[in-house]
A and B are shown apart, each in its own frame.
Chain A
Amino acid sequence: MTDPVETIPLVPETLAAGANDEPAWLSDLRRAGLSIYTERGLPTVKVEAWKYTSLAGLKKIPYVLDDGGVPAPADADIAGDVLPLPPEDTYRVTLVNGRPTDLPTDLPAGVRMARLADLLEAEPALVKPYLGRIADLSDAPMGALNGALMRDGVVILVDAGIVLDKPIHLVSIAQAPNGQARHGHPRHLIVLGDGAAATIVESRVTGPESAETLCNAVTEIAVGADAHLRHLRLVNRAETAVDLDLTETTLADRATYDAFTLTLGGRLVRNEGRVRLRGANAWAGLRGAYGARDAQHFDTTLLVDHVVPDARSDQVFKGVVDAGGKAVFQGKVIVRKDAQRTDGNQLHKALLLSRDADAYTKPELEIYADDVKCSHGATVGELDENQLFYLMARGIPEADARALLVEAFLDDVVEAIPEGPLRDAFLASVRAWQTRRHASTWEIGA
């Protein structure tokens, strides 16, 4: 018999016991997660959902479980990678390996932000109705592992009818000091009561001189009736980072969830977004952009589940893949038997800038209702030669002309974010990425 700890890495030997004085429901949750993970193990490419994204490399890295206690780096050390949003224009929270290190003290009435660890200890009843009940992790071994190992994360509760006046900015730093690789399993919870509205922005970056990090996060989101959540994320980690993120959102009647994810940095990033449309006339927009190069592997895996009639969904992703990069887009739409008059759209466009760049697209439609409108489209192409020549014929050097076209390609989807400082911050991040890409091309050329 093989040693289970060896075939199933990442599970610490001390886990089985769980934390001592936890409520029973939480221990049950951990046990359920652990049994799913031990049964399925680390997903391999033989598993359909992980066909294009291999986690085999993780086994070679001697990660230890994050135990908290890693100090937050100075703002100046991460400023270049974080979304450029003035701190005074947001409620800013810093998280290190998924654990909030500070919490805003000036939140308006009706908005509660807390550490999951604190709530589990002092007010478990507050999170019990949501934790592990929004996300269905039965088919997600990594998400299930998060359920087994979760200790901390951020909890955001917005009461019914409250409209947040400023965006919440989660600055989420992966940091493994002293050359010791770390893995962490942050668990976040966002709940908007009926008629509430909020914008939550996240910058996922890596701290200075960090060793390898594995961030296996699960976020559970519930958007109440007539509530609106805008959820904007920048993934801008370093090459030491592996990020496996699973976000599951449930929507009530007329609720909207407007998500945008821009992925520009990290060695292996999987953004798995799942939305359950459980309310009539609800809308979910899952949109984003990415730019992968130099051995970066970015995976966007989406599931939109139309449970009830009369809901709409839009998935739009555009990405650029340069030499060495690899992109995966898996988009699934389920329209349940009762979900008549569903309107579901999906579009993925990848631009390959090099012969040594790959993009895989896998659209899936499972439609059980008969009166639905569903569309999907996917293109993988190269830069348009005619456009390139047109720019060069005006004297613009080839590298600049390519950069203009790449930026135009990505900006097109970034402009899904309404005009304003948030859109500008994302556009600025795209531009900074371009500049870095440009600079490294020059180095190679020199």
Chain B
Amino acid sequence: MALLDIKDLHATVDDGDAGPKPILKGISLTINPGEVHAVMGPNGAGKSTLSNVISGRPGYTVTGGSVTYDGVDLLEMEADARARAGLFLAFQYPVEIPGVATGTFLKTAINARRKANGEPEIEALDFLKLMKANAKKLGVADDMLKRPVNVGFSGGEKKRAEVLQMAMLEPRLCLLDETDSGLDIDALKVVADGVNALRAPDRGMLVITHYQRLLDYIVPDVVHVLADGRIVKSGDKSLALELESKGYAEFTGAAA
């Protein structure tokens, strides 16, 4: 069974007084367990919208099509239930939450999932060990874990922290929205290693990026080009190289 099956998905964003604005205009995409799919495309094409709609962010209306995760209708579930079912969105813009300690937040998230699975809460010591081990792997400093969620983190630190959370929550479907942007060259490698470590036969990934460089590290099985709310081309990893040299002109109708 496909891990994620998107069929002819149409979605609008609620644009205040302007009313609903169509963003996704018929997206079909299938990710099987073990596969990594990359999505590339110009600014404003709808990449973040796609990841937001999959993860259940309020503010969007699905006007057509379906999204099935592991055989169940994802669109019927609230965002928190989707996450507990194994979905993880690494945010393009991680949110700062003053007053909520990073540790408390992660523990609450882990326990919410455990509770849903009928498992006991994680032992305090096990949790600390898990957090420390993952932090070390991703080059996240100890003092960052003591701070409130994302507060005072640099752009790159926020992205590392997203992958740290992902590693700790062990999702089955990872949506990474421009996790590479804001990372320096060394950090890119560290984060990519972190992501690669999570590649597994039963896990799928959707990696949104603007840069072919990330895909040198996280080698995708399929590359899609998303432009103006549609997937206009799919191919293997060589498509990313081609885009790097030619740009999106042929898909957007603009002059190169």
Contact = CB atoms under 8 A, between A and B. Distances in A.
Interface of A: 384-387, 389-398, 400-401, 404-405, 407-409, 411-412
A385 B109 contact: no
Given A393-B79, A395-B169, A409-B99, A404 B57 contact: no
Contacts of B112: 394-397, 400
B97 A387 contact: yes
A389 B95 CA distance: 9
Closest 6 interchain pairs by CB?
A: A408-B99, A395-B83, A394-B109, A390-B95, A392-B80, A395-B84
B105 A394 contact: yes
A404 B106 CA distance: 12
A387 B95 contact: yes
A395 B109 contact: yes
Contacts of B95: 384, 386-387, 389-390
B55 interface: yes
Contacts of A411: 99
* Interface residues on chain B, size class: 20 to 34
A337 B129 CA distance: 61
Contacts of A387: 95, 97
B107 to A, nearest CB: 11
A353 to B, nearest CB: 16
A395 B55 contact: no
B91 A404 contact: no
B165 interface: yes
26 contacts: A385-B58, A387-B97, A389-B95, A390-B91, A390-B94, A390-B95, A392-B80, A392-B83, A393-B56, A393-B80, A393-B83, A393-B88, A393-B89, A394-B112, A394-B165, A394-B169, A395-B80, A395-B112, A397-B112, A398-B80, A401-B80, A404-B100, A404-B108, A405-B100, A408-B97, A408-B148
Contacts of B58: 385, 389
B169 to A, nearest CB: 7
A393 to B, nearest CB: 5
Contacts of B116: 395
B163 to A, nearest CB: 13
Interface in B44-98: 55-58, 78-80, 83-84, 88-89, 91, 94-95, 97-98
B57 A389 contact: yes
Residue from A385, A387, A391, A398 whose CB has the most chain B CB atoms within 10 Å: A391
A400 B108 contact: yes
B113 interface: yes
A391 B105 contact: yes
A270 to B, nearest CB: 28
Contacts of B113: 395
A391 B116 CA distance: 16
A392 B91 CA distance: 13
A390 B100 CA distance: 12
Contacts of B91: 390, 393
A396 B99 CA distance: 16
Contacts of A401: 80
Nearest to B150: A390
B100 A397 contact: no
A395 B250 CA distance: 40
A386 B52 CA distance: 12
Contacts of B84: 395
Interface in B149-196: 149, 165, 169
A440 to B, nearest CB: 21
Contacts of A398: 78, 80
Residue from A390, A398, A401 whose CB has the most chain B CB atoms within 10 Å: A390
Contacts of A395: 80, 83-84, 109, 112-113, 116, 169
A404 B97 CA distance: 10
A178 to B, nearest CB: 45
Given A393-B89, A394-B109, A395-B84, A408 B165 contact: no
B169 A391 contact: no
Given A389-B58, A391-B105, A397 B98 contact: no
A387 B91 CA distance: 12
A415 to B, nearest CB: 9
A167 B105 CA distance: 34
Contacts of B169: 394-395
A397 B111 CA distance: 11
Given A390-B91, A391-B105, A404-B108, A396 B97 contact: no
B55 A393 contact: yes
Given A398-B80, A404-B108, A391 B55 contact: no
Nearest to A386: B95
B225 to A, nearest CB: 26
Contact of A392 (B79, B98, B104, B148): B79
Contacts of A397: 80, 112
A390 B89 CA distance: 9
Nearest to B114: A395
Contacts of A394: 83, 105, 109, 112, 165, 169
A387 B93 CA distance: 11
A404 B80 CA distance: 14
Contact of B80 (A384, A386, A396): A396
Contacts of B78: 392, 398
B26 to A, nearest CB: 25
Contacts of A407: 99
Residue from B80, B83, B108, B169 whose CB has the most chain A CB atoms within 10 Å: B80
A96 B55 CA distance: 55
Given A394-B109, A396-B108, A405 B97 contact: yes
